[in-house]
Amino acid sequence: IKVTVSRREYSSYGFPQGHERASKINRLEVRAVGSPYTWEELKNMISNKLYNADSGLVNLRLNQMRSYSTAGIISPDQLDSYIEEIVLEVENELSYYIGDLVEGPGAVLGERAVKRFSKPVTVELCFPTIPGTPQPYVRYDGESRWTGLSPLTVNLSGQLAFEVTGTGEYVVLQRKSGLDGIPDDFWAKESLTAFVSRYDITRVFEGSENFIAPEMYVTVGEMVRLYVLVTSGQDFLSPDMEQKVKRTELKEVLGAEGNLKDVSRQQMAAVLFKLYCRKTGADMGSLAAGRRIYIRDFSAIDGRFVNAVELMLDMGVLRLDPTGRFNPGSPVTRAEAVDAFVKALRLSGEEL
In the predicted model, what is the mean pLDDT of residues 77-101?
87
pLDDT at residue number 54: 87
Of 11-15, 126-130, 256-260, where does mean pLDDT reach its minimum? 126-130
Per DSSP (E only), the strands in 96-133 are 110-114, 116-126
Contact 127, 134 (CB under 8 A): yes
Tell me the C-alpha distance between 15 and 13, whole Å: 7
pLDDT at residue number 71: 52
pLDDT at residue number 35: 85
Reported as a single tens digit per residue, the pLDDT across 29-80 is 999 888 888 889 999 999 999 999 888 998 888 887 777 655 556 677 877 8
Of the chain, the percentage scoring pLDDT greater than 90 comes to: 57
Write the CA distances from 243 to 220, 237, 249, integer angstroms. 11, 10, 10
Reported as a single tens digit per residue, the pLDDT across 274-295 is 999 999 999 999 999 999 999 9
Residue 337 above 70 pLDDT? yes
Q: What are phi and psi of 77, to 5 degrees?
A: -65, -40
Contact 308, 273 (CB under 8 A): yes
